Amino acid sequence: MAKSSAKVTKIHANPVAESLQHLLKDTYALFLLTHNYHWNVEGQQFVSLHTLFEQQYTEMFAAIDEIAERIRALDAYALPDHYAEMLQAVKNLSNPLNKETDKDKTADRMIANLIALHESVVKSSQAAKKAAVKAGDDESQDMAIGRIQVHQKSLWMLKAIVK
Ligand SMILES: [Fe+2]
C-alpha cells in the first residue's frame, strides 16, 4: 500500500511534470493520427499531404522523446496513466475513412481533425509554459515555447490547405 502511494506521489511529482504529461499525451495522440493519415490519405493532394504528414510526424516523434525525458529529469514518470485518455482523444474524432464520399473530401476531413488536435496541443503547451513560469523552471518553459511555435506553424500550413 505504501509502495503504491509513493508511486502516485512520484507520478505527480510537481505541477510542471504533470502539465508535461498532458502535453506528452496530446502530442502522442496527434502523432498517431498524423502517421495514420500519412498512410491513408488519398485524392488529388496525395503527394503533398503524404509528404507533409511525414514531416510532421517525424518532428513530433523526436519531440515526444524530448518531452518524456524532460518529465524523467523532473523525477516523474512519462505517460504513466494516460494511455486510455490518449487513445480516446483519437477515438473521439470522426473517422474520415468511414464516410462514403470523394477522396478530396476525405483528405479535407483528415486536415480538419489534425487542426483540432494541433489546437489542443497548443493549449497543453501553453498550460505547460504557465506551470513552468510559475515554478521558475526555465528549461521546461523553453521546451513549451518551442512546442507552441511548432504547432502554430503546423496550424498555419494545414489551414492554408483547406478551402
Ligand atoms: Fe511512410
Report the pLDDT value the prediction gives residue 87, as an integer from 0 to 100: 80
How far apart are the CA of 38 and the centre of ligand 1, in A? 7
Place of cell 494516460: 82
Identify the residue with better confidence: 9 or 47. Answer: 47
Model confidence at 31: pLDDT above 60: yes
Report the pLDDT value the prediction gives residue 6, as an integer from 0 to 100: 43
Burial class (CB in 10 A: 0-12, 13-18, 19+), 54: middle
- Which class is 2-161 in CATH? mainly alpha
Using one digit for the tens of pLDDT, what is the confidence trace for 97-149?
A: 876 678 888 999 999 999 999 999 999 999 999 999 999 999 999 999 999 99
Q: What whole-number distance in Å separates Cα of residue 111 and Cα of residue 12?
A: 34
How far apart are the CA of 103 and the centre of ligand 1, in A? 19
Q: What whole-number distance in Å separates Cα of residue 136 and Cα of residue 140?
A: 9
61, 149 Cβ separation under 8 angstroms: no
Q: List the domain boundaries for the chain.
A: 2-161
How far apart are the CA of 158 and the centre of ligand 1, in A? 19
Using one digit for the tens of pLDDT, what is the confidence trace for 61-79?
A: 999 999 999 999 999 999 7
Cell of 70: 524532460
Model confidence at 4: pLDDT above 50: no
Other Cβ atoms closer than 10 A to 155: 16
